[in-house]
Amino acid sequence: MLIVQKFGGTSVGDLDRIGNVAKRIAKTKDKGNDIIVVVSAMSGETNKLIGYAEHFSKTPASQEMDMLLSSGERVTSALLAIALQDMGYDAISMSGRKAGINTDGKHTSARISHIKTDNMKKSLNEGKIIIVAGFQGITEDDNVSTLGRGGSDLSAVAIAGAMGADLCEIYTDVDGVYTTDPRIERRARKIDKISYDEMLEFASLGAKVLQNRSVEMAKKLNVNLVTRSSFNENEGTLITKEENIMEEPIVSGIALDKNQARVSLRNVKDEPGIAAKIFSKLAENSISVDMIIQNVGFDGTANLGFTVPENELENSKKIMEKLNAAENLEFDSNIAKVSVVGVGMKNHSGVAGTAFTTMADNNINIEMISTSEIKISMIVDEKYSELAVRSLHEAYSLDERN
Ligand code: ADP
Ligand code: ASP
Ligand code: MG
């Protein structure tokens, strides 16, 4: 079997842990498997490097950020290869470039265009264990690129797809995908199997256990994806096609995204074209707007509010100030998005009612709402967001039954 194993930041968080990961890889190799390993930077490393850059500039050039951030993953891949070699295994580390990960030129959130598999195939044929530095690739102009935060998951899935791996295992610091973040609700239940679509919704709404683009890619390339703990032997969660899942619950889980910020425009001119102007300017700057509300116009003006990722707030501020489309601008990063997710919701009524009643019972004000066939999202004050998650988890009877 060809297996791709990805180890996240906590799993390679210190030298002892890198040693343990080496032992785990050796065990898989001893069973006769071919292995490609993908690693993250040691936990905290990427944030530390971002901090270093911010010491010099609030808006560092993204090309330089990629040069800087990609170094974290290279450190881990080399250390892991050294550890395995010392144990007598033939291992080789590869940068994203050597592994053939070609991307577009959008620095800090590059997309993989194709993978040139020659080097990986050659090393596998020689019986080597390959250790790829995750999160990075190479642009057409030969510059290092990175794939966005959490991007090592994407490296692993893309490599598994390109190499036709039998299995892609994402090793992390929890046993799999839970009904909600087990660090917020300890009664959360591990999900044994989840469909690509549901996992994609979960990941897009803030469950960072898998990066959302990696789930999208797994679905597209039909990659057998499992997420499990690197600290025990427990079976993890299988992410698979919908038809492989016997019964889908109405609500599968609750997601929380604290990386949200709100922009409010008071007294915007109530005339055609104003929204187009605001949102096309944001789009031009690659800022993804999530929820939008506009109240009914009064006295020739209206109020408009929308949410953006927290790390885009500074940019959004600048753009709004320059546009000068409203009398008054307000910015708030102390908000969070709480979402109820479930593919089974499609065929049931009353799901949204339960969410709103639960929030009311807990005296939590809902500032914005958006719904789709398979999710209900609410913007709330960040202070109350974990309480909201726990209350909703209970209201939909997701707590572990014992
Ligand atoms: P890694 O460094 O291994 O990539 P991450 O920190 O990116 O790990 O993702 C794992 C974390 O995701 C867990 O520690 C957990 O707190 C968080 N998480 C959020 N939502 C969920 C969920 N629904 N199920 C499991 N973990 C979740
Ligand atoms: N080290 C990168 C990050 O912290 C990528 C990853 O861990 O997946 O975002
Ligand atoms: Mg991650």
51-74: pLDDT as tens digits? 999 999 988 999 999 999 999 999
- The CATH number linked to 129 is 3.40.1160.10
Residue 275: which region, alpha, beta or left (left: phi > 0; alpha: psi -120 to 50)?
alpha
pLDDT at 401: 61
Nearest ligand to the C-alpha atom of residue 135: 2
Ligand 1 and 177: CB distance under 6 A: yes
Q: Whose CA is nearest to atom 21 of ligand 1?
A: 181
Residue 341 within a domain:
yes
Examine the pLDDT at 402 and tell me if it is beyond 50: no
Asked if 295 and 169 sit in the same domain, the reply is no
Q: Summarize the confidence of residues 123-144 as an average pLDDT.
A: 98
The yes-or-no verdict on residue 269 having pLDDT over 90 is no
User: What DSSP character marks residue 241?
Assistant: -
Identify the domain containing residue 146 by its residue range: 2-173
Q: Are residues 168 and 29 in the same domain?
A: yes
**49 and 151 belong to one structural domain:** yes
Same domain, 128 and 30: yes
Q: 63: CA distance to ligand 1 center in Å?
A: 28
Cα 119 to ligand 2 centroid, rounded to whole Å: 24
Give yes or no for a contact between 336 and 385, defined as CB atoms under 8 angstroms apart: yes
* Whether residues 11 and 160 fall in one domain: yes
Residue 24 identity:
R
pLDDT level of residue 346 (50, 70, 90 thresholds): confident
**Of 87-91, 194-198, 281-285, 323-327, where does mean pLDDT reach its minimum?**
323-327
Given this model, what pLDDT does residue 324 score? 85
What spacing in Å lies between the alpha carbon of 235 and ligand 1's midpoint?
Answer: 16
Helix (H, G, I), strand (E, B), or coil: what is residue 246?
A: coil
- Determine which of 9-18, 139-148, 157-166, 262-271 has the lowest per-residue pLDDT on average: 262-271
C-beta separation of 248 from 236 below 8 A: no
Say yes or no: 19 and 110 in one domain.
Answer: yes
pLDDT at 296 over 80: no
Report whether pLDDT(249) > 90: no
Taking the C-alpha atoms of residue 6 and residue 132, their distance in angstroms, rounded to an integer, is: 9
- As a whole number, the mean pLDDT across the chain is 94
Expressed in angstroms, the distance from the first to the final Cα of the chain is 37
In this structure, is residue 235 part of a structural domain?
A: no
Which residues are within 8 A (CB) of 313 and not within 5 positions of it... i.e. 6 or more apart? 261, 263, 331, 333
| Smallest-distance ligand from the CA of 199 | 1
**Is residue 31, in this structure, part of any structural domain at all?**
yes
Residues 167 and 262 in one domain: no
Considering the domain boundaries, does residue 209 fall inside one?
no
148 and 6 in a common domain: yes
Give yes or no for residue 162 having a pLDDT over 70.
yes
Tell me the best of 205, 208, 213 to mutate to test the pocket of ligand 1, counting ligand atoms within 8 Å of each CB and taking the most: 208
Is residue 202 in a domain?
A: no
Angle at 24 (CA atoms; ends 22, 28), nearest 5 degrees: 115
Decide: 207 in ligand 1 pocket, CB within 6 A.
Answer: yes
Residue 280, pLDDT > 80, answer yes
Domain boundary pick from 112, 145, 173: 173
Whether 133 and 258 share a structural domain: no
Which residue, of 173, 196, 222, is where some domain finishes? 173
| C-alpha 244, offset from chain centre | 24
Let me know if residue 240 belongs to a domain: no
What are residue 378's DSSP bridge partners?
A: 338, 369
Ligand 2 proximal residues by C-beta, below 6 Å: 8-9, 40-41, 46, 72, 134-135, 149-153
234 domain residue, yes or no: no
Best of 149, 178, 209 for a ligand 1 pocket test (most atoms within 8 Å of beta carbon): 209
> Which CATH number is 276's domain given?
3.30.2130.10
- Is 89 within the bounds of a domain? yes
Our count of domains for the chain comes to: 2
175 close to ligand 1 (CB < 6 Angstrom): no
The protein residue with its alpha carbon nearest to ligand 1, atom 15, reads: 181
**344: pLDDT strictly greater than 80:** yes
Note whether 166 and 259 are same-domain residues: no
344 in Cβ contact with 252 (< 8 Å): yes
Strand 144-146 and strand 136-138: the pairing is: antiparallel
Percent of the chain clearing pLDDT 70 (strictly above): 100
Same domain, 69 and 159: yes
- Lowest-confidence range among 81-95, 186-200, 285-299? 285-299
Q: Do 80 and 169 lie in a common domain?
A: yes
Last residue of a domain, one of 155, 173, 191: 173
For residue 171, pLDDT over 90 is answered with yes
Packing angle of the helix pair 15-30, 62-86 (nearest 10 deg): 60
